[in-house]
Amino acid sequence: MARVLVVSLNYKTAEMTLRSVRAALRAMDGMDAELVIVDNASGDGSYQRIRQAVASEDWAQGAPIRVVQSGENGGFGAGNNVGIRATMADGSAPDYVYLLNSDAFPAPDAIRRLHDHLETHPEAAFAGSYIHGEEGDAHVTAFRFPSIWSELEGAMRFGPVSRLLKGKSVPIGVPEATQRVDWLAGASIMMRQDVLDRIGLFDEGFFLYFEETDLCLRAARAGFETHYVRESAVAHIGSVSTGMKKWTRIPGFWLDSRWHYFSKNHGRAYAVLATLMHALGGAFWRLRVLLQGKAPADPPHFLRDLLVHDIKALFRPPPGKRKAAPQAVRVAAELEAE
């Protein structure tokens, strides 16, 4: 059986992370797998709490677990990169890397299902799970790549346009069978290490959001596929670390990530056009809200914030690649040696 490195990224959710890790260990049973918990510079005692639990609680005794500290909170991609770069305990590279959100709980066979799928589908670089809520409600985690047309369709929210652009909409619903998709949310996703070696790890220019989209696009451009594996089931609470469900205004890091994705992968002219298409669709929707009394669907001031942000971004130099990750690995190693 191929070797799997499981990476769990914690940010200020120590107890939730420990609960997720216990589920992951059950799902790793019988596999050649190790688990690395990365505390993403929580600063709230999470690192110490997790280390104490791994060192003293019965369920962790003899388990293949390491706990490392990222050194700084560089975001979702940067934190997971720290875990990926940690490699296996003997310093060798795994065959697969499995990323599991700290608020996600795999079924006993979920990790093995992804492993077995990639073993039998060499064309696939990434394989992700069917995600559902704790009450069994299905989550939409399979998507098409964003485009200027998806920006128009998503912002306009108008039936005839949505039907016309059905093949361009980013969400593709919840597939009822295993299939190829463009990209998957990163709550439960397994990746080939040799593909990561070829295309690189997460782009640390993204703090949060769009980093999985970018990685899957890079894999697709290198000739690899991303698969949604319906047989691998994972329960997910969602937005525990990010607080997305409580947003009253779209945060700057989401706007930064959206602009970075379009401008990096399609050029600045395309990014501007994507924003203009979103503005066109958004203005149409807001007219319907005004005339038809529909409930607003975006956070307050979203369209204005988007336009102001992207006008400013157009005249800024593109962000450089973050340099902190190798240093963060060294910090983690020093902390482990204490």
Give the range of the structural domain holding residue 272, as residue numbers without chain letter.
252-314
The pTM of the full predicted model, rounded to 2 decimals, is: 0.90
**Residue 227 falls inside a structural domain:** yes
Q: For residues 193 and 297, state if they share a domain.
A: no
In this structure, of 9-13, 182-186, 313-317, the range with the lowest mean pLDDT score is: 313-317
> Is there a domain that residue 245 lies in?
no
| Domains identified in the chain, total number | 2
Please tell me the predicted confidence (pLDDT) of residue 53.
97
CATH number of the structural domain spanning residue 12? 3.90.550.10
Q: Domain check: are 205 and 278 in the same one?
A: no
Question: What is the C-alpha separation between 80 and 290, in angstroms, rounded?
Answer: 43
Q: What is the pLDDT of residues 78-125, one digit of tens each?
A: 999 999 999 999 999 999 999 999 999 999 999 999 999 999 999 999
Q: What is the pLDDT of residue 316?
A: 87
Query: Does any domain span residue 246?
Result: no
Task: Supply the pLDDT for residue 282.
Answer: 97
Q: In terms of domains, do 106 and 69 share one?
A: yes
> Above pLDDT 90, what percent of the chain?
88
pLDDT at 333 over 50: no
Are 215 and 259 within one domain?
no
Stretch 316-338: mean pLDDT, rounded?
A: 46
Same domain, 93 and 125: yes
Q: Is the pLDDT of residue 12 over 60?
A: yes
Residues 168 and 287 in one domain: no
Examine the domain organization and report whether 57 and 161 are in the same domain.
Answer: yes
Same structural domain, 227 and 262: no
pLDDT digits (tens, 9 = 90+) for 190-203: 999 999 999 999 99
Same domain, 222 and 274: no
Residues 202 and 260 in one domain: no
107 and 42 share a domain? yes
β-partners of residue 7 are 36, 99
Question: With bands split at pLDDT 50, 70 and 90, how would you rate the model's confidence at 319?
Answer: low
What's the pLDDT tens digit per position in 241-276?
445 556 678 999 999 999 999 999 999 999 999 999
- Mean per-residue pLDDT, 306-310: 97
What integer pLDDT is reported at residue 246 of this predicted model? 60
The pLDDT, as a whole number, for residue 247 is: 63
Residue 89 placed within a domain: yes
- Regarding whether 305 and 325 lie in a shared domain, the answer is no
Q: Is residue 104 part of a domain?
A: yes
Residue 168 resides in a domain: yes
